[in-house]
A and B are shown apart, each in its own frame.
Chain A
Amino acid sequence: MTQRTIVNGMTLNELESLLVDRIKSCSNSYYLALLICALIMLAGSAAGLMATVGGHHIYYNVSRELTWGVLISTYIYFVVTSTGLCLVSSIGHIFGVESFVPLAKRAVFLAIVTLCAGFFVISAEIKVPIRMMLYNIISPNLTSNIWWMGTLYGVALMVMILEFAFLYLRKYRLAVVCGFIAVIGEVAANSNLAGVFGLLNGRDFWHGAYLPIFFIASAVMTGAAVLIFFHVLAYRLRGESMNETMAKAMNACCKVAILGICIVSFFTVWRMVALLAGEPGGAYLGAMALIRGPYAVNFWVFEIGLALVLPLILFICSRGTDLRLMFVGSALMIVGLFFMRYNMVIVGQAVPVYYSLGVNEARGLIEYFPSYLEILVTLGGFGLTGCLFLLGEKIFDGHKVDSHHH
Chain B
Amino acid sequence: MTALKFDNLKNEGIENLPDRQRRNFLKLGFAITGVFAGGTILAVTSSVRRSFASSGDFLAQYPYKPHYGMLIRQDRCIDCERCKQACAKTNHVPAYGYRTDILERVRPDAEGQQREFIPVLCNHCNLPQCVRVCPTRATYKDRRNGIVMMNPKKCIGCLTCQMACPYNARYFNEEKMAVDKCDFCWEARLDRGGKLTACAAACPAQARIFGDLSRDDDPVHRVVHQIGRTVWVLRPEAGTKPNVFYTRG
Contact = CB atoms under 8 A, between A and B. Distances in A.
Interface in A356-373: 356-362
Interface stretch (B3-11, B29-37, B234-242): B234-242
Interface string A116-129: 00000000001111
Interface stretch (B60-68, B80-88, B160-168, B196-204): B160-168
Contacts of B234: 354, 357
B147 interface: no
A398 interface: no
B171 A64 contact: yes
A135 B106 CA distance: 45
B135 A144 contact: yes
Given A128-B177, A141-B137, A359-B118, A354 B168 contact: yes
A361 B106 CA distance: 11
A202 B127 CA distance: 12
Contacts of B153: 131
Interface in B88-125: 96-97, 103-106, 118, 120
A201 to B, nearest CB: 5
A196 B177 contact: no
A147 B163 contact: no
B156 A132 contact: yes
A360 B79 CA distance: 14
Contact of B166 (A65, A139, A202, A358): A202
Interface string B130-170: 00111111100000000000000111111110111111101
A201 B239 contact: yes
Contacts of A128: 155-157, 177-178
Nearest to A125: B158
B186 interface: no
B97 to A, nearest CB: 7
Most chain A CB inside 10 Å of its own CB: which residue of B138, B154, B166: B154
A165 B163 CA distance: 39
A146 B160 contact: yes
A195 to B, nearest CB: 10
Contacts of B162: 64, 67
A67 B130 CA distance: 14
A141 B134 CA distance: 7
Contact of A359 (B104, B129, B167, B237): B104
A57 to B, nearest CB: 6
A293 interface: no
A127 B235 contact: no
A143 to B, nearest CB: 5
A53 to B, nearest CB: 12
A144 B167 contact: no
Interface residues of B, number: 43
A126 B156 contact: yes
A208 interface: no
A127 B172 contact: yes
B103 A359 contact: yes
Contact of B105 (A127, A131, A140, A358): A358
Interface in A336-374: 349, 352-354, 356-362
B174 interface: yes
A241 to B, nearest CB: 47
A127 B157 contact: yes
B104 A361 contact: yes
B164 A202 contact: yes
B134 A131 contact: no
A153 to B, nearest CB: 12
A200 interface: yes
B214 to A, nearest CB: 25
Contacts of A143: 132-133
A392 interface: no
A347 B200 CA distance: 36
Interface in A8-65: 55-57, 64-65
B103 A361 contact: yes
Contacts of B238: 201-202
B96 A349 contact: no
A140 B97 CA distance: 28
Interface of A: 55-57, 64-65, 67-68, 126-129, 131-132, 135-136, 139-141, 143-147, 150, 196, 200-203, 349, 352-354, 356-362
10 contacts: A55-B174, A128-B155, A128-B177, A141-B132, A141-B137, A144-B134, A353-B165, A354-B235, A361-B103, A362-B103
6 closest Cβ pairs, A-B complex: A127-B157, A202-B166, A147-B135, A202-B238, A135-B136, A132-B156
